[in-house]
């Protein structure tokens, strides 16, 4: 099975380089390979396909599946609940700091198909896990649908760091084909727990994605770091939802949207401070970068405050790559394309630096590849 990865060019073969990364591969929603399972088992960590989890750990699955994302939540999560075939299951026992990054690679192979995988991650009390999700799909003319559901449960004092690099096929330059990426991602943070979503979104024809954190426990923390790129005819509509329920809850949102070609990038975020969320704080920063004059950048923040002790700040800016910056870099020998790439990666650094190192390098390369032809 792992050979298939090599043939398909998914960088799973780089796993030697990514020493200490355990990988679970999901093809067309079927989990095909899980590495390092034994080593993880020694620590009591469960990292397996959903099917195995249902067979071997039915209690955990029953207790937490659908507890954060109920099937009634929205059309796509309902569809997923009805048809999901497999996915990835992770459980970190109390007090355990998972020593390696856990990674899932998702791939849609079949043409005109849909992928409906389900991911459930449970960090038990005082545990820690960093989880990576990579997505690819080969070029197909007809469209494909990805309607995944990801549920995170962070129990008291635990931390889950979830990083995504999404590079589903965005469709051709004329807007033909491509993956429709409608993903429901939500986490629940209990007392003093922390959930952190980091995403680099360069693929898909249409992306609708709002990873959310329900800050249920007192002192819980939610973070969202995102770079979304929309080139050619891509539409990226992404953002986050931070629901502050507990006291002293804190959320941070950093969203960087890059629009090029005829792409449209929308940040749509919601910060809700519930009546009992004393001293909740939120800081939101949304920056947009426009490349060319046929693209669009939209920022739609919803801020709903029902507690007067809340402190919220929202800042946003829209800019383009300035001629001065380009000239400066080019006068030092960088080509126009390299100069653009360097400026854009630098501009995105606040988000990219949140990624695990290997992912950060890949993210930077993806931005470069995705923007080819957009500049100049």
Partner 1 sequence: MLKVKNLHACVAENKSIKILNGLDLYIRKGEVHVIMGPNGGGKSTLANILMGRPSYEITNGEVEFNGKSILDLAPDARSHLGMFLAFQYPVEVPGVRPWQFLKASLDAKAEANREKKISVREFTKIFNQKVEEVGINSNLIKRSLNEGFSGGEKKRNEILQLQIINPLLAIMDETDSGLDIDALRIISDGINSMRSNQRSFLIVTHYQRLLNYVKPDFVHILVGGMIVDSGGPDLALKIENSGYKDYIK
Partner 2 sequence: MPDIFFSHSIDQFNILFNNAKKKSFFDSKVNEIKNIAWDYFLSTGLPLHRRGNEEWKYTNLNPLSETKFTIDADIDIDFSSITKLIPFSDNWHNIVFINGNYFSKLSENSTKTNDINIVPLSSSKLPDEFATLANPDLSPFTALNTAFFSEGIIIEIPDNNKVSKDLNIVFLTSQSSENLATFPRVFLKCGENSNLNFIESYINLSSGNNLTLPVVEIVQSKNSKINHYRIQLENKKSFNIGTTRIEQKENSNFNSTTFSTAALIGRNDLHVLLQEPHSTCGLYGLYITSGDQQQDNEISTTHVKHDCTSKQFYKGILSGRSKAVFSGKILVEKDAQKTDADQKDLNLLLSRDCEVDTKPSLEIYADDVICAHGATAGNVDMNTLFYLQTRGLDLETAKEILIRGFADEILDRFSPKDLHCFLSDYIDDIIPELRDQSDTIGTF
Closest CB to partner 2 among residues 188, 247: 247
- Does 305 bind partner 2 (CB under 8 A)? Our answer is yes
The two structure tokens encoding residue 242: 């931070």
Provide, rounded to whole angstroms, the least separation between the CB of residue 276 and partner 1.
Answer: 38
- Which residue of 83, 300, 330, 361 would you call a contact of partner 2, by CB under 8 A? 300
What's 375's DSSP letter?
Answer: -
* Number of residues binding to partner 2, judged by CB under 8 A: 33
CA angle 23, 60, 28 (to 5 degrees): 40
- State which of positions 17-36 bind partner 1 (CB under 8 A): none
Listed ranges 62-70, 217-225, 313-321, 349-357: which one lies at the site for partner 2 (CB under 8 A): 313-321
* 313 is an interface residue for partner 2 by CB under 8 A: yes
Q: For partner 1, which is the closer residue by CB, 86 or 362?
A: 362
Tokens found for residue 148: 């995944």
Q: Which of residues 238-277 bind partner 2 (CB under 8 A)?
A: 275
Task: Tell me if 315 contacts partner 1 by CB under 8 A.
Answer: no
Stretch of 16-24, 187-195, 316-324, 330-338 contacting partner 2, by CB under 8 A:
316-324
Enter the tokens of residue 75: 């059309």
What is the C-alpha to C-alpha distance for residues 361 and 132, in angstroms, rounded to an integer? 14
Q: Is 376 in the site for partner 2 (CB under 8 A)?
A: no
Shortest Å, Cβ 116 to partner 1: 37
- 263, 230 Cβ separation under 8 angstroms: yes
CA distance 194 to 123: 10
User: Per CB under 8 A, does 355 bind partner 1?
Assistant: no
What does 303 interact with, of partner 1, partner 2, none (CB < 5 to 8 A by kind)? Answer: partner 2
Q: Of 288, 251, 287, which Cα lies nearest the Cα of 271?
A: 251
Under the criterion CB under 8 A, does residue 333 sit at the interface with partner 1? yes
Helices marked H in the chain: 2-8, 37-42, 50-56, 58-64, 75-83, 323-330, 336-347, 349-352, 357-370
Q: CA-to-CA distance for 202 and 165, rounded, in angstroms?
A: 8
> For binding to partner 1 (CB under 8 A), which residues are involved?
322-325, 327-336, 338-339, 342-343, 345-350
């Amino acid at each position: 099975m792992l050979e298939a990865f090599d043939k398909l060019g998914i960088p799973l073969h780089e796993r030697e380089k990514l020493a200490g990364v355990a990988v679970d591969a999901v093809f067309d929603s079927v989990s095909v390979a899980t590495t390092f399972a034994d080593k993880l088992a020694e620590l009591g960590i469960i990292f397996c396909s959903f099917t195995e989890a249902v067979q071997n750990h039915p209690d955990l699955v029953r207790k937490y599946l659908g507890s954060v994302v109920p099937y009634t939540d929205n059309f796509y999560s309902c569809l997923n609940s009805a048809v999901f075939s497999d996915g990835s299951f992770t459980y970190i026992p109390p007090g355990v700091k998972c020593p390696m990054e856990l990674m899932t690679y998702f791939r849609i192979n079949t043409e005109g198909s849909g992928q409906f995988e389900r991911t459930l991650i449970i960090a038990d009390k005082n545990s820690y896990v960093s989880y990576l999700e990579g997505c690819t799909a080969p070029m197909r003319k007809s469209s494909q649908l990805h309607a995944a559901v990801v549920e995170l449960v962070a129990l008291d004092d635990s931390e889950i760091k979830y990083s995504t690099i999404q590079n589903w096929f965005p469709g051709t330059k004329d807007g033909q084909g491509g993956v429709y990426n409608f993903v429901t991602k939500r986490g629940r943070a209990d007392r003093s727990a922390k959930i952190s979503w980091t995403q680099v979104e360069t693929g898909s024809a249409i992306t609708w994605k709002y990873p959310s954190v329900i800050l249920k426990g007192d002192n819980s923390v939610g973070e969202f770091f995102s770079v979304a790129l929309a080139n050619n005819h891509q539409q990226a509509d992404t953002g986050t939802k931070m629901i502050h329920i507990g006291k002293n809850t804190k959320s941070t949102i950093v969203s960087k949207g890059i629009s090029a070609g005829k792409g449209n990038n929308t940040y749509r975020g919601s910060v809700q401070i519930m009546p009992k969320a004393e001293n909740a704080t939120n800081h939101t920063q949304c920056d947009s970068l426009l490349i060319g004059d046929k693209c669009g950048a939209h920022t739609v923040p919803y801020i709903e405050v029902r507690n007067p002790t809340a402190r919220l700040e929202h800042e946003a800016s829209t800019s383009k790559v300035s001629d001065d910056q380009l000239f400066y870099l080019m006068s030092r020998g960088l080509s126009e394309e390299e100069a653009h790439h360097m400026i854009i990666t630098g501009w995105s650094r606040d988000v990219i630096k949140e990624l695990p190192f290997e992912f950060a390098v890949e993210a930077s390369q993806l931005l470069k590849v995705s923007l080819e032809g957009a500049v100049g």
